[in-house]
Structures are given as C-alpha cells and as structure tokens.
Amino acid sequence: MLKKPESTDIFSLFYILPTVFNSDLDRGFSIIDYDLNDELVTREDLEQLHELNVMFKFDLVLNHLSVGSPQFQDLLKKGEKSKYMDFFIDWNKFWHSHGEMGSDGHMVPHDEHLDKLFMRKPGLPILKVRFPDGSDRPYWNTFYQEVFYHEVTAHNLLHALEIEELTYDDAENIAAILNDILNAKGDTSEIDLGEYNHLKKDIISVVEQDRKYLGQMDLNAQSQEVWDFYDETLKKLRAHGGKLVRLDAFAYLHKEPGENNFFNKPGTWDYLARLQKIADKYDLTLLPEIHSEYGSELHEEVAAKNFPIYDFFLPGLVIDALDRGTNRHLLRWIDDLLKKGIKTINMLGCHDGIPVLDLKGVVVDGVSKEGLLSDEEIDAVIENVIARGGRVKNLYGPDGKKISYYQINATFFSALGENEKKLRLARAIQMFMPGIPQVWYLDLFAGKNDYAAADKGGTGGHKEINRTTLTNNDIDQGLKQPIVRDQLEIMKLRNTSPAFDGELTVNNTDEHCLNLTWNHQECMAILSADLRDFSFNITHKENGSDENVMTYS
C-alpha cells in the first residue's frame, strides 16, 4: 500500500503492531519474543520501507509477556531451579506480609491494599501455575488468561500410571469422568472417582502435568533479569529500524504494597527515567501510553517530563463537536496544548477503542477538578456511539462490580453515524491539531463496524469490531472512493506543507465554526469549518504563490 502512487508524500511513519513479532494473542500484544515473525515480515520488507523514507514505530509491552515466552516456559519446566524464578511476580511472595492466606492457596491482600487495586477484569489478577514438584503457585496476571487441558485418553492414563491393577476398561471409565469435569471447567481437586478414589492423587497429577496456558504474565520489574530483557529488546527494536517506541501498559509496571498498582509515584517515574537512559543509548524516542482522567492532570505530568503523550482526548472531543455543532470543548483542549507545550501523537480511531474515561473530571481531597466534558456530555457521546452500533469495555473494582466505561469499541466512521461529511471534517480537524497525526488504516478507508468479528472474538471480541483485515483488492477499490481520496489529499498537505512546522493560531468565530491557521515564514494553511453542516475550506499559500483553496461541502 505504501508503495502505491496514491501514498506518495503522505506517510512518514509506520506504526506496525506487535504482530510483526512472535506473539499468540490480542493481535500481537501478548508477545512471545521480539524477533521478526517471518510469516508476516522479512528484513527486506523493512529495508524497502526505509527506501520510501518511512520510519517505524514499534511497541514495547512493558508490563507483561506471553505464557509462551521462553522465560515463562523455562519457569514451567524447571520451577524453582529456573533462572526466571523472579522474572514474573509470585503473588503470595508479593503479598506475604500484607494479606492473609485463603483456603484456596493464595494470599488475599488486606482491605486497605485491596481497595487500591485497579482491575482490568473481575476477581483477583492471578493465574495458578503448576510447578514440576506438583505445587500450584499463583502469579500476577493483570490481563488475559485461559487454562485448558487436552482430552484425557485411556491410553495416556495407562502409560503414565503404570499400575497393574488398572485395566483398559477402568482407564476408559476414569477418562470419561475426567473429561466431563474438564469440559465443564470444573475443579479437578474436587472430583469424585468413586471406586478409583484411592488412585486420585496419581490420576490428578497426570492430568495437571498436561495443563496448558494462554495469557499474559506480569513482569517483576524488581528483577535485574527483567531490566536486562528491556535493554536487549530496545536494542533489537533499533536494529529492526525503530525510531519511536510506544510503552504499552507501562503504568501497571511498578507495583508496591500499599500503593495503587496503576501509575504509583514516585516508582513509575523512577522506572521511566531508567528506561529513558536505555532508550537514549539506542537513539529511540519513548512514547508512554497513559489512560487517565483529564482532571487527574496525569497527562500533564508525563508531558512535563519531556515525553510525548497520546492524545486520547481528541476522539471523544471530535465526536462531541460534530454531534452538537460546538467548538467550545475542542478549543479548550487546543489552548491547553499550546499554553502548556504538550507534545502529542493524536488520533481518531486506533487498534484499541475510542476513549471516554480520559475526558472525565475527578475529585481530589474533596476538590472537584473538571474534565474536558461533563459527565452528562460524556454519557451523550457514549449513548450516541452505542446507538450507532458501538460496544463497550468496562473496568472492575476488587469486588467484581463494574465501576465505569473505559472505552467504546467502534470504527470512527461508524461512531460518526457512517456520515462521510463528518469523517472528512474529522480528518481535517485532526490534521490541523498540534502534534503528530496517527491514522488508523481502517478509518482511512471508511471502515464500518465488523459485528461478525466482534461476536466471534470471545472475551476480547469487542476489539475486533475495528480490526477488519483489508485485502489488496479492498485497498485498490477503496482508493477509488471520494471519501478516501479526500482524506489522502488533506493528509498530503499536512505531511508536506512547511506551514505545519510553524505556529498555530486559533481565530475567533461563532461557536458552531472552527478557524485554525498555521504559519511558518511565508507559508500558511487555514482550516475554516462549519460544525453544523460539516462543510469546510482549506486554504494554502506558499512562498508568495497564489492561494490554493480546497473546498469540501
């Protein structure tokens, strides 16, 4: 696609999701290792992109690794003799002095600690891991997990047990009982084997030895092995041709009893400073990914440390502006960016979802700090997008109760009611915002919600609504569509005009209008838009030449 003439001078950075590496879940975000996935990419592919003057943005998933990683597999195989014994977080060891042992073998943190845990799913964030000695050890698992077993057969039981008194018919009966329990996701420790109960310990041992896992295990950042791994990985990303490195889920990395397990301070800052030193060694720019309420001002703290931030506020603000025909909240955010010198990577849609939690205000020590949108306005955004087919991802408290919407999953085109005029103006607004614009491929092609993929995706299926695979033919046909070509035209101006290297001026207008001007030396670019009927002009003038006016109505 990037080699096509329609893409000439439009893209200068290519954000390749971690499917470029070896992974097994979540479109790459459950990473096994950071070597190139030779089924999808070769070194020659990356070199050809370099010839197009395209730089790469990669992910470093700081908080977790796949259970399929060499480190976790070594732990499963060698147990306490593994060099990676402390590479992951032993839940019971972590909470040893800060909780009570429960009846099912894992520590339950004291209430004052439990109340501070920020959950991504119901229940405690643990996965019980079977060690070679037959013991089960709980390990910290913030995100996805699945435990499964292969079907038990009479042949396998007879071969593993080697008990003369056990006939083939006996083994078949036992296998049938076990498979019924396993298929029902039951607890094998509570199984009743009837006349075979005297063999229960040996039989369960055989079954558990074949336990398999799927999921993402939290890393223990107090281990030097983990920091050696980060150093090795950043070096590898640079060798792959990376320039920008997005720090995925970094805010969960620093964990300490008595502190929140999400962006606790100063620990998180200490970790970021340590990572920055490694990144500097390999000439990489780090982009911490942080979702938090606007009122918490956490994004300002990250920006003040001279890190660029993701503009997770823009998608909801644009939907609000175009749905209600008002520039008020959007202009407030632009004013923030300019006055506070906040550097951003901005977006509309992305691989994940449309954030809404980020727009909220908070109450700190009894003092209310307002959000970019009021709760009522946020609710209206949510209701509108859901009415247009969007789906939601929820957050949970330690009691398993839903506490808030985290994001809405939808293509941005569908979130706008599949209105091409809205999408065209939304893209123009993005291109005139401060920061580096990031464009999700499916939104560029006016992709619609993929309900079949979302339904098929199971637990994480909500994300698949906006991850439709496009074939080369889909791209060829899409490039013929006016909505696609118009977006490319606007994006090309953004990528090539010197005006955007200068300063942004926000011009006074009626509330239903928007007028943004970029100036650099003798070059000028102006966006003049009506947020009610979605018509707009882009005026461009360079080095004394005649004005070029692009009109969209």
| Rounded Cα distance, 12 and 54, in Å | 5
Of 297 and 364, the one with more pLDDT: 297
Q: C-alpha angle 420/351/493, rounded to 5°? A: 50
Which pLDDT band holds residue 400 (cuts at 50, 70, 90)?
low
User: Does residue 404 carry a pLDDT above 90?
Assistant: no
pTM over 0.85: no
pLDDT above 60: residue 403: no
Closest CA to 300 of 286, 282, 318, 288: 288
DSSP state letters, 237-294: HHHTTEEEEEEETGGGS---TTS-SSS-TTHHHHHHHHHHHHHHHTT-EEEE-----G
Look at 191 and 80; give whichever has higher pLDDT: 80
Element (H, E) at 36: strand 31-36
- What is the DSSP secondary-structure string of 143-157? S-EEEEEPPP-HHHH
Q: How far is residue 235's CA from residue 257's CA, in Å, rounded to a whole number?
A: 32
Residue 95, phi-psi category: left (phi > 0), alpha (psi -120 to 50), beta (remainder): alpha
Is the pLDDT at 459 greater than 80? The verdict is no
Distance CA 399, CA 215 (A): 22
pLDDT value, residue 64 = 96
Cα–Cα distances in angstroms (integers) from residue 139 to residues 75, 105, 253, 331, 439, in the given order = 11, 12, 14, 46, 37
- Closest C-alpha among 371, 378, 309 to residue 340: 309
pLDDT confidence band for 86 (50 / 70 / 90):
very high
pLDDT, residue 201, reads 86
138 preceded by cis ω (within 30°)? no
H or E segment to which residue 15 belongs:
strand 13-15
Sign of CA pseudo-dihedral 182, 185, 191, 193: negative
**What percent of the chain has a predicted confidence (pLDDT) above 90?**
73
Task: With a cut of 80, say whether residue 398 has pLDDT above it.
Answer: no
Tell me what the mean pLDDT of segment 372-401 comes to. 85
Q: Name the β-bridge partners of 516.
A: 506, 527
Residue 402, pLDDT above cutoff 70: no
User: 393: which 2 tokens?
Assistant: 């991802």
Buried b (16+ CB within 10 A) or exposed e, 157-174: bbebbeeeebeeebbebb
Q: What is the mean pLDDT of residues 465-484?
A: 96
134 or 500, greater pLDDT: 500
Average pLDDT over residues 526-538: 98
pLDDT class of 543 with cuts at 50, 70, 90 = confident
| Residue 409, pLDDT score | 94
- 281 vs 195: which has the higher pLDDT: 281
Six token digits for residue 389: 């087919």
Q: How do residues 237-267 score in pLDDT, each as one tens digit?
A: 999 999 999 999 898 999 999 898 888 899 9
**End-to-end CA, the chain:** 28
* Nearest Cα to Cα of residue 481 among 512, 444, 526: 444
CB contact at 8 A, 410 and 439:
no
To the nearest whole number, what is the mean pLDDT of the chain?
92
The pLDDT > 70 percentage for the chain reads: 97
Evaluate whether 131 touches 80 at the Cβ level (below 8 Å).
Answer: yes
Residue 468: the pLDDT is: 94
Q: Which of 54-58, 110-114, 404-408 has the lowest mean pLDDT?
A: 404-408
Active site residues: 248, 289
Q: pLDDT at residue 73 above 80?
A: yes
Torsion of CA 386, 391, 395, 401, to 10 degrees: 80
Cβ(258)–Cβ(98) below 8 Å: yes
Given pLDDT bands bounded at 50, 70 and 90, which one contains residue 415?
A: very high
- The torsion region of residue 66 among left (phi > 0), alpha (psi -120 to 50) and beta comes to beta
Using the predicted structure, report yes or no on whether residue 493 has a pLDDT greater than 90: yes
Q: How confident is the model at residue 67 (pLDDT cuts 50, 70, 90)?
A: very high
Q: In the predicted model, what is the mean pLDDT of residues 26-30?
A: 86
Q: What is the mean pLDDT of residues 521-550?
A: 93
pLDDT bucket at 296, cuts 50 / 70 / 90: very high
196 by Cβ neighbours in 10 Å (0-12 / 13-18 / 19+) ranks as middle
Q: What does the alpha-carbon distance between residue 492 and residue 497 come to, in Å, rounded to a whole number?
A: 8
CA angle (252 as vertex; 290, 129 as ends), nearest 5: 145
Is residue 320 within 8 A of residue 411, CB to CB? The reply is: no
Helices (H), 388-515: 412-415, 420-432, 441-444, 451-456, 472-478, 482-496
β pairing state of 536-542 and 523-530: antiparallel
Handedness of CA 323, 325, 328, 333 (dihedral sign): positive
